[in-house]
Protein backbone atom coordinates (compact mmCIF):
# COMPACT_ATOMS: atom_id res chain seq x y z
CA UNK A 1 0.00 0.00 0.00
CA UNK A 2 2.79 2.43 0.87
CA UNK A 3 4.49 1.80 -2.48
CA UNK A 4 1.26 2.74 -4.26
CA UNK A 5 1.03 5.96 -2.24
CA UNK A 6 4.67 6.73 -2.97
CA UNK A 7 4.17 6.21 -6.70
CA UNK A 8 1.09 8.43 -6.64
CA UNK A 9 3.03 11.19 -4.89
CA UNK A 10 5.83 10.91 -7.46
CA UNK A 11 3.28 11.08 -10.29
CA UNK A 12 1.77 14.23 -8.78
CA UNK A 13 5.20 15.83 -8.47
CA UNK A 14 5.95 14.99 -12.09
CA UNK A 15 2.66 16.52 -13.25
CA UNK A 16 3.28 19.72 -11.29
CA UNK A 17 6.79 20.07 -12.67
CA UNK A 18 5.64 19.47 -16.23
CA UNK A 19 2.78 21.92 -15.91
CA UNK A 20 4.51 24.78 -14.08
CA UNK A 21 8.30 24.35 -14.07
CA UNK A 22 9.24 23.25 -17.56
CA UNK A 23 9.88 26.35 -19.61
CA UNK A 24 9.41 28.70 -16.65
CA UNK A 25 10.35 32.17 -17.84
CA UNK A 26 11.27 33.41 -14.37
CA UNK A 27 13.64 30.50 -13.73
CA UNK A 28 15.33 31.06 -17.10
CA UNK A 29 15.70 34.76 -16.39
CA UNK A 30 17.10 34.28 -12.90
CA UNK A 31 19.47 31.60 -14.14
CA UNK A 32 20.77 33.91 -16.86
CA UNK A 33 21.11 36.98 -14.64
CA UNK A 34 22.22 35.44 -11.33
CA UNK A 35 23.27 31.85 -12.01
CA UNK A 36 21.88 28.36 -11.62
CA UNK A 37 22.20 28.22 -7.82
CA UNK A 38 20.36 31.49 -7.32
CA UNK A 39 17.54 30.41 -9.61
CA UNK A 40 17.25 27.05 -7.87
CA UNK A 41 17.25 28.67 -4.43
CA UNK A 42 14.53 31.07 -5.55
CA UNK A 43 12.39 28.18 -6.77
CA UNK A 44 12.78 26.33 -3.48
CA UNK A 45 12.30 29.21 -1.09
CA UNK A 46 10.09 31.80 -2.79
CA UNK A 47 8.11 30.19 -5.59
CA UNK A 48 4.70 28.86 -4.54
CA UNK A 49 5.12 25.86 -6.85
CA UNK A 50 8.50 25.11 -5.28
CA UNK A 51 6.99 25.31 -1.81
CA UNK A 52 4.30 22.85 -2.90
CA UNK A 53 6.97 20.51 -4.26
CA UNK A 54 8.83 20.73 -0.95
CA UNK A 55 5.71 19.50 0.84
CA UNK A 56 5.56 16.50 -1.48
CA UNK A 57 9.24 15.87 -0.80
CA UNK A 58 8.62 15.87 2.94
CA UNK A 59 5.78 13.38 2.49
CA UNK A 60 8.02 11.14 0.37
CA UNK A 61 10.78 11.34 2.95
CA UNK A 62 8.39 10.34 5.73
CA UNK A 63 7.27 7.31 3.68
CA UNK A 64 10.89 6.30 3.11
CA UNK A 65 11.74 6.66 6.81
CA UNK A 66 8.70 4.62 7.88
CA UNK A 67 9.47 1.98 5.26
CA UNK A 68 13.16 1.65 6.12
10-65 pLDDT, tens per residue? 999 999 999 999 999 999 999 999 999 999 999 999 999 999 999 999 988 887 66
Measure the CA–CA gap between 48 and 32, rounded to whole angstroms: 21
Residue 67 forms part of a structural domain: no
Residue 22 forms part of a structural domain: yes
Question: What is the pLDDT at residue 40?
Answer: 94
Domain residues for 28?
2-62
Residue 35 forms part of a structural domain: yes
Q: Which of 62, 16, 61, 65 is CA-nearest to residue 43?
A: 16
Residue 12 forms part of a structural domain: yes
Residue 10 forms part of a structural domain: yes
Question: What is the pLDDT at residue 3?
Answer: 82
Question: What is the pLDDT at residue 62?
Answer: 83
Structurally, how many domains does the chain consist of?
Answer: 1
Instruction: Read off the pTM.
Output: 0.77
Residue 68 forms part of a structural domain: no
Amino acid sequence: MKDIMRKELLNQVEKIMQQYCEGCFLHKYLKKEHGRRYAHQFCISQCTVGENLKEYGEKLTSYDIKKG
